[in-house]
Amino acid sequence: MGDLSLIILAAGQGKRMKSEDSKVIHRVCGKEMINHVLDAAVKAGCVNATVVVGHRREQVIRAVGEKAAIAVQEEQLGTGHAVMQAAAELERGENVLILSGDTPLITAETLQSAIVKHIEGNYGATVITARVPDPTGYGRIVRSGGEVEKIVEQKDATDEEKLIDEVNSGMYCFNSALLKNALSKITADNAQGEYYLTDVFEILKNEGVRIGAFEAKNYHEILGVNDRVQLSEAEKLMRARINRGHMLGGVTLIDPDSTYIGPDVEIGMDTVIYPGTILEGRTTVADNVIIGQNCRLVNASIARGVDIWTSTIIDSSVDEGAHVGPYAYIRPGSAVGKDCKVGDFVELKKATIGDGTKISHLTYIGDADVGAGCNFGCGTVVVNYDGKNKYRTVIGDHAFIGCNSNLVSPVTINDGAYVAAGSTITDDVPSDTLAIARARQVIKENWKDRRDDG
């Protein structure tokens, strides 16, 4: 299977989505449909890949990144025409897998089984099919004597053909050379005036080529997304599949119907996730973590034994045993050390926090390196921005920052230093000293009487 090529069709506009964007960049469980398909095919063993782009191509190219070569279909003249634009891919391997960018639920396992059937059965073309409760809109698999005869599109089907509930998934394996030859023979002589890829089946059949069909066990896997109702159905099915996998892997989801976990998220055993939580991107969560209600984690890395309540963590890490929230906002580039506390209404940005440091409430720390064992009083602000530039602040180990202090960056608070409550610190504070940077308190005697007397 080493030389299996891959072509994914993604040039269409997807009119039924009613969207300014390319259909295939719409997301299912946080990941673009095109990337669901591409990742499944790569996992199934495809080595080379070409994505055929057209409508809003820049969006599709950005989503795919370095993972595939690009072929452009200037005018969307049909799926057969689209494959022809990727003719170079047909030269690369003996067999080619052809997929659509709008079937996000397909799994690597099903693709692999279909590929194995195609190769071991020595077929020239193999179509992945499924029996569906409502075949409306799909191409129908017309068989005679059990063998695939042809594929008929909904709009070209006779009333009798419309009753067939075995449909074309839009996913196929072909012998590349046979496909290339058959594509040169298709015409646009059909209800939609398009060059249908599906027409190659009848052509190949008539040429005596062996045609295979691989029926997917679960029709959910082949569901195509053409509109936003189907998008939400795909989302729901994918969510159930992902969540089931985590639960079987030892994660407690208190309410899986309201827990939103992306396909590339990893979660350890005995972690408990409360409702309303969203885990996105490359988030990794270790064992024995509690993620409370309504959290959002994006590309976060959470170590063992952490608990997080109603908080947002983006592109940041939290080390073992730390407590986060409720209502903490940890922005990109932050790293929270072991056993820290990042409490309510604390915002971190590009901040590293040493082990055991407590930032319990109402504090902003941006662009700063904070040591271990520090304590921040309520209402500390690292004043990192002067309106033009941002500066870094350094705080040593075991520093004590009193309530309602401003640390005007760039500034260094050395190990063991104390900052008196209400200070605005603009100069470095040496180790083990106390800095008081506020006006001394003044008492006006008999103030009330003097005021009342005018």
In the complex, the residues that contact ligand UD1 under the rule CB under 6 A are: 9-12, 24, 52, 73, 76-79, 81-82, 100-103, 138-139, 151, 153, 167-170, 196-198, 224, 226
The option from ligand UD1, Ca ion, none interacting with 268 (CB < 5 to 8 A, set by class) reads: none
Task: Decide whether 169 or 406 has the Cβ nearer to ligand UD1.
Answer: 169
φ/ψ of 320, rounded to 5, equals: -45, 135
Tell me the closest approach of the beta carbon of residue 79 to ligand UD1, in angstroms.
3
The option from ligand UD1, Ca ion, none interacting with 368 (CB < 5 to 8 A, set by class) reads: none
Which stretches does DSSP call E strand in 39-89? 50-53, 69-72
Decide if residue 104 touches Ca ion (CB under 5 A). Answer: no
CA nearest neighbour of 52 among 20, 21, 18, 78: 78
Decide if residue 102 touches Ca ion (CB under 5 A). Answer: yes
CB 125 within 8 A of CB 209: yes
Task: Decide whether 78 or 263 has the Cβ nearer to ligand UD1.
Answer: 78
φ/ψ of 304, rounded to 5, equals: -50, 145
Rounded CA-CA distance 10/64 in Å is: 11
The upper half-sphere exposure of residue 43, i.e. CA atoms within 13 Å in the direction of its Cβ, equals 13
Rg of the chain over all Cα atoms, to the nearest angstrom: 30
Q: Tell me the pairing of strands 125-131 and 166-175.
A: antiparallel
Task: Decide whether 98 or 411 has the Cβ nearer to ligand UD1.
Answer: 98
Measuring CA to CA, how many Å separate 124 from each of 178, 269, 311, 344? 7, 45, 54, 63
Residue nearest ligand UD1 (C-beta atom): 139
Task: Decide whether 167 or 308 has the Cβ nearer to ligand UD1.
Answer: 167
The option from Ca ion, ligand UD1, none interacting with 9 (CB < 5 to 8 A, set by class) reads: ligand UD1
Tell me the closest approach of the beta carbon of residue 184 to ligand UD1, in angstroms.
17
Could you tell me if residue 414 is left (phi over 0), alpha (psi between -120 and 50 degrees) or otherwise beta? beta
Q: Tell me the pairing of strands 335-336 and 317-318.
A: parallel
So which residues are the catalytic ones?
A: 361
The option from ligand UD1, Ca ion, none interacting with 423 (CB < 5 to 8 A, set by class) reads: none
The option from Ca ion, ligand UD1, none interacting with 82 (CB < 5 to 8 A, set by class) reads: ligand UD1
Tell me the closest approach of the beta carbon of residue 251 to Ca ion, in angstroms.
33
Tell me the closest approach of the beta carbon of residue 168 to ligand UD1, in angstroms.
4
Task: Decide whether 60 or 411 has the Cβ nearer to ligand UD1.
Answer: 60
Site for Ca ion in 207-226 (CB under 5 A): 224, 226
CB 146 within 8 A of CB 166: no
Decide if residue 14 touches Ca ion (CB under 5 A). Answer: no
From 102-110, 155-163, 184-192, 438-446, give the range in contact with Ca ion by CB under 5 A.
102-110
From 98-106, 199-207, 322-330, 339-347, give the range in contact with Ca ion by CB under 5 A.
98-106
- Most distant CA pair in the chain: distance in Å? 113
CA nearest neighbour of 380 among 346, 355, 356: 346
Decide if residue 202 touches Ca ion (CB under 5 A). Answer: no
Task: Decide whether 172 or 309 has the Cβ nearer to ligand UD1.
Answer: 172
Tell me the closest approach of the beta carbon of residue 351 to ligand UD1, in angstroms.
43
φ/ψ of 183, rounded to 5, equals: -60, -30
Tell me the closest approach of the beta carbon of residue 197 to ligand UD1, in angstroms.
5
User: Quick one: 118 exposed, middle or buried, by C-beta within 10 A (0-12, 13-18, 19+)?
Assistant: buried
Tell me the closest approach of the beta carbon of residue 75 to ligand UD1, in angstroms.
8
Task: Decide whether 224 or 268 has the Cβ nearer to Ca ion.
Answer: 224
Q: For residue 429, what is the DSSP state?
A: B
Footprint on this chain of Ca ion (rule: CB under 5 A): 102, 224, 226
